[in-house]
Structure 1
Amino acid sequence: MRLLTPAGRRLSASEAVERLAKSGVLFLDQATVADVRSFLRDWTEPYRHPHENSPGITVIHSTPFRDGENNAGFTSRSLPLHTDRAHVAAQPAIVGCLYTAQARTGGESLLLDGVRVIKAAMERRLLADAGNVVLLAPGHPWLPVITTGRGSALWRIRYRSDALARPHAATVRAKPLLNLLHELPPPDGYAFAGGQGYLIHNLRVLHGRRAFSGDRRAVRVLATVTRSSGYAYLNEGFHLPAGTPATSRTDIARVETPHPADRADGGPA
């Protein structure tokens, strides 16, 4: 298996882990599922998922869409940008997708670095109310879309907007940030062939895909970084790149209970 930067530079295994931690994205080439498992074995453990075929592994191929079952990821439809398991508190830190059969047409993978979203929010001075833009998911607690992790050094993004969960402004003041999230920057698109794919930091990088035709097949890998690893902080968030302007407020993870007079129209109190 070849481990690559998106620009195509080949990396050693140790360089690849460091690159994934710093940039959030790593590309795979000439890879098998066994190769990916071997690369992850020493520093991660499988993240269990209800749809998995084996621990941390889910085989994805096109099946008919069924209303009300939230199975768009297992169809040929487009898949909006999201982070996996965004509606639960403990998400997988690492998400991988290895393609075993390429689509006949379409099916490009879409990747968006969440740092771009945070920078856009900083430029518009919207982060003071970030704790009040939350994901609403039936049966789950409100979870901020953008939050800091340990202290103020780590950042985290959890995002999806579909039948399972969608972002909501809990206060009127938070609506401008919600509007920004509804207009995400355009993602980068990649057409991967069989044996190619990616690993991403799921608390930083949003992913999706374009609609496709043909027998496109992929294997999804979900993992949590082991506590003994020097990269265990990836389970909590990521460091902003050097040179990113600091926000004027660091307690954005706190979700306030809005006063009734300050509630967004139609929002729950």
Structure 2
Amino acid sequence: MTLNTHAFLASHYVNMASGLAVTRATAILARDGLVTFDGVHDRESVVSLAGRLLSPREHRDADADGVTIISERGSVAGQLGYAGFGAAELEPHTESSALAQPPRFLMLVCALPADHGGESYVVDGAAIYSDLAAHSPRLLQALQEPATVRFGNPGYWGSVFEPTLDGRIRIRLRLDGLEHFTEPAAEAVPLLRAVISKHVRELPLRRGQGYLLDNWRMLHGRRSFQGPRLMYRILGDLVADHDFPLGFQPPNARAAA
């Protein structure tokens, strides 16, 4: 299900040319886990914008400037863990789930939209958690049990929803064949997929548009596509002079606040 995409883009939009852009972007990220922006039309501009907010992380597929070029690369996409380099739909996931401490943020910028399809989308982990808490608390508890899911190979043993040190929650997920659910979490996977599908929000990015999301809160993915498609991606952590909450508050904590 999708909402009005124009309204969704606009409600998270920050004019990054503004003098208050970093302050506003940080506030919206802390509130919603997502910022959208435009006016970024080349790789140099992507790196410059990321440098105002992020300390880039090294990544298997990134170049020295922290940029990973996401494009269709033929047979490469058939390897486990490389689905992003194909044209098929990319299931909702968090980045670097096999690491004990995944990067906090992901920036994605559209350099060339596909001829058909290829819409980016996001899913708020807080919405997934709240839905499960209201309608399936037993299965939600199963998805919080420690060391019931292996992410990657050999990877990291954890859970879909993990507590942070300050009592908040972070989400970790992949559904690309490099995950292994054990009981009781395995029982909850079909429902988890169904709930995720209810909360998909599409971001049909045009050239120069992009988003910055909290990788500890938001899932992301994309629709299948035809024709050339080129995206720039940077993973990183918030620069040291910005304070930022971890993950999201569970519903009972929000109610008590």
TM bucket by the smaller chain? 0.7 to 0.9
SS at match of 1:179: helix
Partner residue of 1:94?
105
Query: Comparing both chains, which one has the higher relative contact order based on Cα–Cα distances under 8 Å and sequence gaps of 6 or more?
Result: 2
SS at match of 1:245: helix
- Cα distance between partner residues in 2 of 1:96 and 1:163: 24
- Residue type at the aligned position of 1:219: Y
TM-score by length of 2: 0.81
- Residue type at the aligned position of 2:137: R
Structure 1 position 188, deviation (Å): 1.2
Structure 1 position 17, deviation (Å): 1.5
The answer to whether the aligner puts 1:7 opposite 2:21 as a matched pair is no
TM-score by length of 1: 0.78
Task: Indicate how the Cα distance of structure 1 residues 189 and 100 shifts in structure 2: closer, same or farther if over 3 A, else same.
Answer: same
- Cα distance between partner residues in 2 of 1:54 and 1:219: 13
CA contact (8 A) 1:108 1:209 kept: yes
How many aligned positions are there? 234
**Once superposed, which parts of structure 1, at least 4 consecutive aligned residues long, lie more than 4 Å away?**
8-11
CA contact (8 A) 1:65 1:71 kept: no
Compare 220-229 and 207-216 and name the one that shifted more.
220-229
Task: Indicate how the Cα distance of structure 1 residues 141 and 72 shifts in structure 2: closer, same or farther if over 3 A, else same.
Answer: closer
Structure 1 position 219, deviation (Å): 0.4
Partner residue of 2:79?
68
Deviations along 1:202-237, one digit per CA (max 9) or x if unpaired, are 111100000111111110111112444322x4xxx3
Q: Choose the corresponding residue for 2:32, options 23, 30, 34.
A: 23
SS at match of 2:55: strand
SS at match of 1:182: helix
RMSD: 2.4
- Residue type at the aligned position of 1:188: R
Task: Indicate how the Cα distance of structure 1 residues 228 and 182 shifts in structure 2: closer, same or farther if over 3 A, else same.
Answer: same
Deviations along 1:13-34, one digit per CA (max 9) or x if unpaired, are 1111211122111112111444
Partner residue of 2:188?
177
The answer to whether the aligner puts 1:207 opposite 2:220 as a matched pair is yes
CA contact (8 A) 1:5 1:26 kept: no
Identity %: 26
- Cα distance between partner residues in 2 of 1:28 and 1:170: 41
Alignment of 1:208-227 (within 5 A): 208-227=221-240
- Cα distance between partner residues in 2 of 1:39 and 1:178: 37
Q: Choose the corresponding residue for 2:118, options 107, 130, 133.
A: 107
SS at match of 1:97: strand
CA contact (8 A) 1:47 1:55 kept: no
User: Could you list the runs of 5+ residues in structure 1 that have no partner in the other structure?
Assistant: 248-269
- Cα distance between partner residues in 2 of 1:55 and 1:143: 31
Q: Choose the corresponding residue for 1:134, options 144, 149, 160.
A: 149
Structure 1 position 245, deviation (Å): 3.0
User: Could you list the runs of 5+ residues in structure 2 that have no partner in the other structure?
Assistant: 1-6
Task: Indicate how the Cα distance of structure 1 residues 72 and 182 shifts in structure 2: closer, same or farther if over 3 A, else same.
Answer: same
Task: Indicate how the Cα distance of structure 1 residues 210 and 150 shifts in structure 2: closer, same or farther if over 3 A, else same.
Answer: same
Structure 1 position 240, deviation (Å): 2.3
Answer 1 or 2: which has greater helix percent. Answer: 2
Structure 1 position 98, deviation (Å): 0.4
Compare 98-107 and 15-24 and name the one that shifted more.
15-24
Partner residue of 1:255?
none
- Cα distance between partner residues in 1 of 2:207 and 2:141: 44
- Cα distance between partner residues in 1 of 2:44 and 2:131: 39
- Residue type at the aligned position of 1:146: F
Q: Which structure: larger Rg?
A: 1
Alignment of 1:34-45 (within 5 A): 34-45=44-55
Compare 87-96 and 53-62 and name the one that shifted more.
53-62
